[in-house]
Homo-oligomer: A and B are copies of this chain.
Amino acid sequence: MEQLEKLFNRIISRTRINLREFDFDIDAYVQNIIPLEQLTKFYGFYGITAHHPIHFSFKHSNLAGSYFLGKCSTLNSILYKSDIRGDELKLKGETFDAHGTGIVLDEDEMISIKNSLLIKTLVHNFSHDPEKVDLFLIKNTISNAYANIHGAPMDGCFLGPFSTVDLTTLHDCVIGTFSYVQVGTLAHTFVPPGRVWVKNGDVFDFTYQFPEDELKHYIYFKQEEGPVGRFMDFAEDRKPDFQRLYNVVHMESPLEVPLGASINRYSVFQGESHIEENVLVAQRAFIESSWLGKGANAQENCYISDSRLEGYNVTAHGATIIHAHLNQKVFAGFNSFLQGTEKCPLTVGSGCIIMPHTIIHPDAPLEIPPDYLVWGYIRKEEDLADHSISLEELSRVRDKINIGDMRFRGDGSAFVHAFRHRIEHILEANGAYFDGEMNRGHAQKGQNISFNIIQPYPRGPQEGLYPSTEIHP
């Protein structure tokens, strides 16, 4: 494993150099957290479909347990149980609108991961950087468990566990544990843990800061040890249910799949569940005793248990929904954690937007009225006053509003419009509106995937490294 060890250390050095301006001991958050032996134990895999242009290029990398779809390349990188989903990349000939200027793509966009260490990270969507329209580049970056890199090219960054960088170009930044940033571009910034930040130039700026002491119980990045807390325990408990998926080449579908729906064979179904047409269940999603209505989706690392989703629900990457009843068009953002219980169920009215990185963990039955924006940390009904606003009210904000620890500046209606527009776009992209012929999306395109399994050198100095592999049509 000499070469793998060398690679590991080289990646850390590079990121360390990029982040030298901060008082941040990167080694305390990387060394000893992933034992290198783990990296030789799992296979990598990639999908081939008739719908996605492919180009896979893996060089001098370890891909243990990682999944690839579409056009992606890795160089001098370690990807541990990560998902690189290149099924929303821009295509050759498409026009990308960059601040009013249309840029026509000369070639298909590609995800390129260089000198990086990604741990249980999701990479999805496409580069929103107008300076690099055909390259979604992740370079000199270290990301941790259940981080989401969503349409966010980056260089020289460290992403804490359960953090999300969304539609943002990042340079030399530290994104704290469970922080969410969607701010367009960000450089040389240290984002503390538990910060939720959505900013669109001068149009609007939403921030919320989680209470540090409370967040610690859910997720905390312990030096020399790694992420701990309820989120990790929850994922850890369900790990054995996933393991059997990986030891079988072909899986029978766990339930009847209606027209236009698709269940990735690397998802877990338990108990009695039901899915309607156009439902999309991505790899590494976990569905237990739940009902998913027409066009609902469950993305990577979602857990949906004892819940009912009425339809056209977006359950973004990493969202957890337990003992909840979500009416139509409820959006549950990235890594949101809606943890009802049998005695304290959660009901969410139609059209609600649960902000990314929201924790709702009620100790009594809780109901959220329709068309609300919800954020932050909610344990009881009274918390709602400080952690939600009706979308109508927010739309009327022209200048600013502060509610509890949330601070909003700018144009409320632009914010609501942007979110609603995006949710519609996600539903379209996922194929929620497929009518049997038109409006095909991921749910339909993912119905027939061939999975390919790649393994590293089993012994010798190259142990753990994958041979160089190039795959194209």
Contact = CB atoms under 8 A, between A and B. Distances in A.
Interface of A: 43, 48-50, 54, 246-250, 448-460, 462-463, 467-473
B456 A453 contact: no
B472 A468 contact: yes
Contacts of A449: 458
Given A50-B460, A451-B455, A468-B470, 16 more contacts: A48-B455, A48-B456, A48-B457, A48-B467, A49-B459, A50-B458, A50-B459, A50-B462, A246-B249, A452-B455, A462-B473, A467-B472, A467-B473, A468-B472, A468-B473, A469-B470
Contacts of A50: 457-460, 462-463
A470 B50 CA distance: 20
Helix, strand, loop or mixed for chain A's interface?
loop
A87 B336 CA distance: 52
A179 B460 CA distance: 42
B249 A458 contact: no
8 contacts: A48-B456, A48-B467, A247-B250, A450-B455, A451-B455, A468-B471, A468-B472, A469-B471
Contacts of A462: 50, 473
Contacts of A453: 249, 451-453
B250 A467 contact: no
Contact of A247 (B248, B451, B452, B463): B248
Contacts of A452: 43, 452-455
A450 B460 contact: no
Contacts of A469: 469-471
Contacts of A471: 467-470
A131 to B, nearest CB: 31
A448 B458 contact: yes
Contact of A458 (B43, B450, B460, B463): B450
Most chain B CB neighbours (cut-off 10 Å) among A450, A456, A460, A471:
A450
A68 to B, nearest CB: 12
A241 to B, nearest CB: 17
A460 to B, nearest CB: 3
A55 to B, nearest CB: 9
A450 B455 CA distance: 6
A449 B460 CA distance: 12
Contacts of A248: 247-249
B467 A54 contact: yes
Contacts of A246: 249
Nearest to A461: B50
For the complex of A and B, the 8 pairs showing the least CB-CB separation, nearest first, are A50-B460, A450-B455, A453-B453, A50-B459, A448-B458, A470-B470, A450-B458, A448-B459
Contacts of A457: 48-50, 450
Nearest to A449: B458
Contacts of A470: 468-471
A246 B453 CA distance: 13
Nearest to A60: B473
Contacts of A467: 48, 54, 471-473
A54 B468 CA distance: 10
A49 B462 CA distance: 10
Contacts of A459: 49-50, 448
A471 to B, nearest CB: 5
A251 to B, nearest CB: 9
Contacts of A460: 50
Contacts of A249: 43, 246-249, 453
A379 B450 CA distance: 49
A248 B467 CA distance: 22
A136 B449 CA distance: 34
A57 to B, nearest CB: 9
Contacts of A54: 467
A169 to B, nearest CB: 31
A301 B139 CA distance: 48
A50 B459 CA distance: 6
Nearest to A44: B452
Nearest to A59: B472
A50 B452 CA distance: 21
Nearest to A467: B471
Nearest to A465: B473
